[in-house]
Amino acid sequence: MATCWQALWAYRSYLIVLCLPIFLLPLPLIVQTKEAYCAYSIILMALLWCTEALPLAVTALFPIILFPLMGIMEASKVCLEYFKDTNILFVGGLMVAIAVEHWNLHKRIALGVLLIIGVRPALLLLGFMLVTAFLSMWISNTATTAMMLPIGYAVLEQLQGSQKDVEEGNSNPSFELQEASPQKEETKLDNGQAVSVSSEPRAQKTKEHHRFSQGLSLCICYSASIGGIATLTGTTPNLVLQGQVNSIFPENSNVVNFASWFGFAFPTMVILLLLAWLWLQVLFLGVNFRKNFGFGEGEEERKQAAFQVIKTQHRLLGPMSFAEKAVTFLFVLLVVLWFTREPGFFPGWGDTAFANKKGQSMVSDGTVAIFISLIMFIIPSKIPGLTEDPRIRFV
C-alpha cells in the first residue's frame, strides 16, 4: 500500500493534468454558453497554477488553444494578447525544433538517409543536400548547418584515409586529413643512393580531395538556405511576410497559411536544390560523371570506408528511445495538422469543425504549434514504471 501511494505521489503531476480537464467537463457540457466555456478555461488554468502540475508559463498559453477550439475567440485575436499570431507560430515551431534536436532525432534522420542513398561522390553530395534541406524546413538554418557539417567532415576524413591506404597498401585506415604532399620525395635504393621519385599522382588526389571538401561544405550551407524557404516555419522572413500580409490586408481570408505556402515554395525548393546539386557537381567534381558516380579505380574501397563511418555513427545512436518515438509521432502529427487545417482545395478540419460565422477557421497554425508543444510538456521522457528510482516504481 505504501509503495502504491508513493507511486501516485510521484506521478501526481501527470494525474492532475489528465484528470482535471475531465473532472471539470460537466460545466461546459451542461451550460453550453461562451461564458461557461470561458469559466471552464479559467478554472482549469487556476487549478493548474495552484498545483504547478505544469510550468506556470506553459499554463499561461492555454487560452491560445482553448479559446479558439471552444469558439470563445479567434486565434488571431487571442494571440494579440501575447504576440502577433506569426510570432506565436514561430515560438511553437521553435519549441518543437528544440525537442527534435534535444533527442538527436535530426541526426538519426540524417544518418539514415545517407545510409540509404549511398556515399558515391555525386550521390554523397545529393544525400547531404536532401537531408540538410529537409531538416532546414523545420529547424533553423544555422542549427541544421552546425549539425550537418561535423558529419560531413567525418566522412571526408575517412575518404582521405581510405584513399591513402589504397595507394600505400596499408590495411589500417587513417582518420586524419593530410596536407598536399610535395612534388618530389626521396626513396632509398639497395645501393644506399637516394633518388627523386615523382609524387604528382598523390598530389593530384589530394587536390581533388580538397576540392570535394569545399564542394561538400558549400552544398550543406546552400541546401540549408534553400530548404528554409519551403515552409512558413523554415526561416523567420517567411513569417514576417505572413505577418505583413495579415496587417496590410486584414480581410485576406488567411491566404498565406502553411499549406498554401508549402504548395508554392516546395516545388521552387526542389528546382533550386537540383540546380545547385548539378552546378556544385560540375564545379567541384568535374564533368566526368562516370567517376562522379563512383565507377573509377579505387572508388569502391573509398565508398566502403566512408559507408562504415556513417554506419558506425548511426550504430552509436543506439535504438530509438521512448522519447524519440514520442517526438517523432508528435512531429508527424504537427505536420499533418498544419496541412489539413485549412488547405483551400478541400475542406479542412479547421474550417469545418472550428469555423466562425463567416465559415473561416478560428484555429490558426500558431494554435496547432502551441498545442503540440503543450503535449510535449505533458508526455514523460521515459515510460512510467520503468524508472530505476524505487520510490516511484509500480509493483
Confidence of residue 295 (pLDDT cuts 50, 70, 90): low
The answer to whether residue 139 scores a pLDDT higher than 80 is: no
Under the banding of pLDDT at 50, 70 and 90, the label for residue 145 is: confident
pLDDT tens string 251-285:
777 788 888 888 889 999 999 999 999 998 888 87
Look at residue 372 in the predicted model and tell me its pLDDT: 92
Indicate if the pLDDT at residue 393 is higher than 70: no
Q: What pLDDT does 158 receive?
A: 61
Interatomic CA distance for residues 72 and 64, integer angstroms: 11
Residue 71 pLDDT > 60: yes
Q: How confident is the model at residue 100 (pLDDT cuts 50, 70, 90)?
A: confident
**C-alpha distances in angstroms, 162 versus 69, 246, 262, 307?**
59, 56, 42, 11
Domain boundaries, the chain: 1-103+338-395, 108-175+206-320
Q: What is the pLDDT of residues 326-348, one digit of tens each?
A: 999 998 898 888 878 877 667 77
Q: What is the mean pLDDT of residues 179-187?
A: 42
76 pLDDT higher than 80: yes
C-alpha cell at 279: 552546378
User: Which residues are CB-contacts of 388 (< 8 A; sequence separation ≥ 6)?
Assistant: none
Percent of the chain with pLDDT over 90: 19
Q: Do 88 and 79 meet the contact criterion of CB atoms below 8 Å apart?
A: yes
Residues linked to residue 361 through DSSP beta bridges, in sequence order: 355
Q: What angle do CA 257, 258, 260 make, to 5 degrees?
A: 65
Mean pLDDT within 55-64: 92
- 252: helix, coil or strand? coil
* Average pLDDT of span 363-385: 85
Q: In the predicted model, what is the mean pLDDT of the chain?
A: 78
Provide the pLDDT confidence category of residue 176 given band limits of 50, 70 and 90.
very low
φ/ψ (deg, to 5) at 127: -60, -45
Closest among 316, 312, 315, 366 to 341, alpha carbons compared: 366
Q: What pLDDT does residue 387 have?
A: 45
Most confident stretch, 89-103, 106-120, 337-351, 376-390: 89-103
Kindly indicate the confidence band of residue 124, based on its pLDDT and cuts at 50, 70 and 90: confident
Whether the pLDDT of residue 67 is over 80: the answer is yes
Reported as a pLDDT band with limits 50, 70 and 90, residue 292 is low
The pLDDT of residue 151: 76
Instruction: Supply the pTM of this predicted model.
Output: 0.68
Segment among 48-52, 200-204, 220-224 with least mean pLDDT: 200-204
How far is the C-alpha of 299 from the C-alpha of 162, rounded, in Å? 10
Contact of 290 with 121, CB cutoff 8 Å: no
